[in-house]
Amino acid sequence: MMASRRFPFGKRSVADAARERKVGIKDVSREAGVAISTVSHVLNGTAPISPDVRGRVLDAARRLGYLAKRQAKASIGALDTILLAVPSDTVIETQVNLFSFTLLSALTRECERRGIRILPLTADGKSFSAAQLVQEARNGQAEGIVVLSEDRSELLSGIAASGIPAVLINGEDHGMQIDSVTPGNRFAARLATDWLIKQGHRSILHLTWEGRSTIRRRRDGFLDAFAANGLPTENAQIQFAEGYLPQHGEAAIARWLKEHGGLGGVTAIFCAADNLALGALTALHSAGLSVPGDVSIMGFDGVTIGELTDPPLTTVSVPLDQLGPAALHLLEQRILNPHLERAAHRLELGCRLSIRDSVAQAR
Amino acid sequence: MMASRRFPFGKRSVADAARERKVGIKDVSREAGVAISTVSHVLNGTAPISPDVRGRVLDAARRLGYLAKRQAKASIGALDTILLAVPSDTVIETQVNLFSFTLLSALTRECERRGIRILPLTADGKSFSAAQLVQEARNGQAEGIVVLSEDRSELLSGIAASGIPAVLINGEDHGMQIDSVTPGNRFAARLATDWLIKQGHRSILHLTWEGRSTIRRRRDGFLDAFAANGLPTENAQIQFAEGYLPQHGEAAIARWLKEHGGLGGVTAIFCAADNLALGALTALHSAGLSVPGDVSIMGFDGVTIGELTDPPLTTVSVPLDQLGPAALHLLEQRILNPHLERAAHRLELGCRLSIRDSVAQAR
DNA sequence: CTGAAAGCGCTTACAG
DNA sequence: CTGAAAGCGCTTACAG
C-alpha cells in the first residue's frame, strides 16, 4: 500500500486520456462559436473582449472541462517525492483503525495517479523526532513532508524550522507554523448533536476519550450545540473511555450503566468515534437494552463498518478520501511559490451526517 | 476602490512580464543541462526519466520560477466576475474599521491584477437576503460570490442552495455548506496569551465584545492558554465592551477601573481588537496609569495604527492581505471542478505576534 | 472587438 | 533513458 515506487507511466497516460478526452482550444472555439484566437485572448486576457463573447467562451471552456484540464496539467511534476510519516499505532492496528486506513488508501491512490513517489516512514513502537524526519527527507530528496495524526509541538516546530514544505493531516499545529488539514471536527460534532436535539433528545451522553486535540474539538462542538439550542449544560454529560478501541467503548458504557443502574436518564449517546459506537452497541445489547428503542446512538468518522452494524449506525461522515489530496494541494502551492510570504494554512473539511437507523425520535 | 471595471490589459501584461521574465522550457533545459524534450518529458510524465535528471530539471524549473509561472497562467480566465457582498457597517466606518478596509484593499488589488471584475453589493443600513444576493449574482453573470464578515445561517444556506460557488471571508459557516477563510483566531489568541504568561503575567483581563463567532474564537484561545499553562481560570478575567470601537474599549476599561478601584490585580490586558486597545490606552492614560509600566496591553488585528500609538502596540498580526487572495483561490478551485464532490473548505490563516512596546515583564 | 494567418513554444514519435 | 527533428496547439501581430 505504501510502496516506494512510481507507477509505470503507461498506466497514467491511459487513465488521463480517458478522463480528459483530449479537449483543446479549438473544441472550445467550436462550442462557443468564435475563432480560435478569440478563445486564446479570453483565456489569457491579451485583448479586450466583449462580456458577452467572453462569457460564452468561459462557459464552453468550463463545460468541456478545458479549464480543469489546463489546471491539472499545470501542476504535473511540481511534486516528485514526498516523505510520509505515520505514527506506529495508526499502522499496526489497521483492521481496527479504519479511519487512518481509509485516509491513507486515498492518499496513496492520489499519489499513484499523479506519479508522486512516497517514501514511507513509520516509527515502530517509539515515535520519531523532527531531526530524524528531516534527515530522511533530505536523504530521499523529498521536496515535501506529510505527517499523519501528530500534535507534538517540538516535532512540528522542528519540521517548520527545516524549511522543507510540510503538511500535517489529521492534526493541529497551534503554533501556526505548518499547514494542516483536518476534518471540521467542532462544527461536525455540533451538527450531529443538533440532529439529536432535533429528534427530541434533551439529555445526551458524549462518549469520548483523552485523545489528541482533534478529539477535544468534537467535545467543543457537542457543548456548542447545547449552548446554541439554549439547553442547560448539565444535560450534556461526558463519559471517558480508556482509548478509542471498541473494547474501550464497551467498558465505558458498561461502567456508566452500572454506576447509574441503567441509562441514568440519557436517551442518546453521541460517540466521538465509530469504534466507540461499536463498543457501545455491544455493551447495550449485553445489558438487554435496544438501540434505538431504548437509547439512540450517533457515531463519528463514517467508516465503512457503520453500515454493517445492527442497527446500521447513524454517524458523521468525514471526507476521508479528500484529506490526503487536499494536503497534497497545500504542499504543491507552497512548493510552487517558495519565495512567497504565505501564512500557515489550516484547512478543515466539512463533514456530513449519514442518517441510518441507530437514532430514533425521543419518546 | 470597488469600481466595477476591468483594468486595462496593457497594465497587466507589463506587470506580468516584469514578474515572470518570460522563462520558458528552453531556459529550464539550459539551466539543467539537458535537451528541451527531456524537460517536457519530466514536466508531463510522458517518459521514464532517471531520478537524477528528473531532480535536476525540477530544481531548475522551480528555481527559475517556471513552475509557478505555468501554474499562474493556468488559472487566468477561470474567474471572470465576482459578486462581492459587504455588510454596511464594515464600509461606512472605514476610518475606524481598518480591519475590513485593509482586507478589502488587498482583495480588490488582487482582482485588478488578475483582471477579475467585481460587482460590489453593499447593504445600506439593513442587511441583504440570500435571494437578493443570488439574484444580483445571476443578473451580473458573476460566476462566484464573495461574502464578507457574515454569520447568518439563513443567508449562508440560501447561498449554498443556489449552487453558485461562494466563499465567506472573515466568518464561519457552522453548517459546513460553503467555503470560508478566517484568521486563525483561536490559536492566535492562545499564542498572544502564551506570550503574556511567558512575560510573567498571571492575572490577565481579556477585553472583548459580544461580536460574531470569530470573536468568540479569540476568547476560546485566551482560555486555552490558561489551561495549557496549568493556570487557574479564575485568573483569566473577561470584560465586555459595548462594541468594537475605541470609545467602547475606553468606556469598558474606565468601568473596570471604577468597579475595582484600580486595576484589581490585573497586570496585563489582552484586547480582542486593536481598536479596543486604542480605547484602553486612552482610559488608562486618563486614569494616570502608565503602559507598560503599570499594565501591559496586547492588541489583536495588526492594523497599521498600532505602530503609531504611544507606546507602539504589541499585537497579533493577522495576514489581512492574504485572506482575499486565499478566498479567490478557493473559489477558483470550485469553479474549475464543478462536477467534483468537494467538501466545504474552511481555511484558517496563521497569525504572528508583532512585538512592540506595550507589553513588559510583570514585576 | 473579431478573425485569418504567421510564428513560436511545447510535445511526441523515433533512432540510438 | 536521452536528444534531434517533425509536428501540433496556442499565441500574437495585424487588417478590417
Exposed, middle or buried by CB within 10 Å (0-12, 13-18, 19+), for B255? middle
Tell me: cis bond preceding B292? Omega within 30 of 0 counts: yes
Residues of A in contact with B345 (CB under 8 A): 326, 347-350
Q: Where are the domains of chain A?
A: 9-75, 81-183+322-349, 185-317
Q: Which of A87-101, A286-300, B60-74 has the lowest mean pLDDT?
A: A87-101
Say whether B185-317 and B81-184+322-350 share the same fold: yes
The total of other beta-carbon atoms located within 10 Å of residue A241's CB is: 27
Q: What number does CATH give the domain B81-184+322-350?
A: 3.40.50.2300
Chain centroid to CA A107: how far?
10
Residue A76 CA, nucleotide C12 C1', distance (Å): 17
Q: How confident is the model at residue B77 (pLDDT cuts 50, 70, 90)?
A: confident
Average pLDDT of the residues of chain A:
89
Contact list in A for residue B176 (CB cut-off 8 A) is 184, 187-188, 191, 350-352
Each residue of B178-212: pLDDT tens digit? 999 999 999 999 999 999 999 999 999 999 999 89
Distance from CA of A21 to the nearest CA of B (A): 16
Give the model confidence (pLDDT) of A136-185 as tens digits: 999 998 999 999 999 999 999 999 999 999 999 999 999 999 999 999 99
Which A residues, 47 through 76, put their C-beta within 8 Å of a C-beta on chain B?
47-48, 51, 54-55, 58, 61-62, 67-68, 70-71, 73-76
Q: Name the minimum distance, in Å, from the CA of A13 to any CA of chain B.
A: 8
High-pLDDT (> 90) share of chain A, %: 66
Closest CA to B66 of B36, B109, B106: B36
First-residue to last-residue Cα distance in chain A: 47
Q: Which of B45, B76, B345 sits opposite A76 (nearest CB)?
A: B45
Instruction: Give B263→chain A minimum CA distance, Å.
Output: 31
Q: With an 8 Å Cβ cutoff, are B345 and A342 in contact?
A: no
For residues A23-49, average pLDDT: 85
Strand C closer than 7 A to residue A41 Cβ: yes
> Is residue B152's pLDDT more than 90?
yes
B283 to chain A, closest Cα gap in Å: 32
Cβ contact B42–A77 (<8 Å)? yes
Q: Specify the fold of A81-183+322-349.
A: Rossmann fold (3.40.50)
Confidence category of residue B11, pLDDT binned at 50, 70, 90: very low
Q: Check CB contact under 8 Å for A346 and B343.
A: no
Q: Is the CB of B337 under 7 A from strand C?
A: no
> Lowest mean pLDDT: which of A106-120, A279-293, B48-62?
B48-62
CA of A33, C1' of C7: distance in angstroms: 24
Which of A348, A351, A352, A353 would best serve as a mutation to test chain B binding (most B beta carbons within 10 A)? A348
Cβ-contact A168, A155 below 8 angstroms: no
The beta-strand segments (E) located in A131-209 are 144-148, 166-169, 179-183, 204-209
Q: Cβ distance A318 to A302 under 8 Å?
A: yes
Lowest mean pLDDT among A126-140, A303-317, B36-50, B329-343: B36-50
Residue A101 or A94, more confident: A101
State, as a whole number of angstroms, the distance between the CA of A65 and the C1' of C2: 25
Predicted local confidence at residue A125, as pLDDT? 64
Is pLDDT of B305 > 80?
Answer: yes
Nearest-by-Cβ selection for A343 from B46, B342, B350 = B350
Number of H helices, E strands in chain A: 14, 12
Architecture of domain B185-317: 3-Layer(aba) Sandwich (3.40)
Q: What's the pLDDT score for residue A64? A: 86
Q: Between these two residues, A179 and B89, which has the higher pLDDT value? A: A179
pLDDT of residue B125: 63
Tell me what pLDDT residue A92 has: 53
Cα angle A112, A116, A121; round to 5: 95
Residue A339: CB atoms within 10 A of its CB come to: 7
CATH of domain B9-75: 1.10.260.40
Tell me how far apart the alpha carbons of residues B271 and B297 are, in angstroms, rounded to a whole number.
Answer: 7
Q: Which of residues 292-311 of B touch A (CB under 8 A)?
A: none
pLDDT, position A89 = 66
Residue of A nearest to B341 (CA): A322
User: Do the strands A345-349 and A268-271 form a parallel or antiparallel pair, or are they unpaired?
Assistant: unpaired
Protein CB footprint (7 Å) on chain C nucleotides = 1-5, 9-14
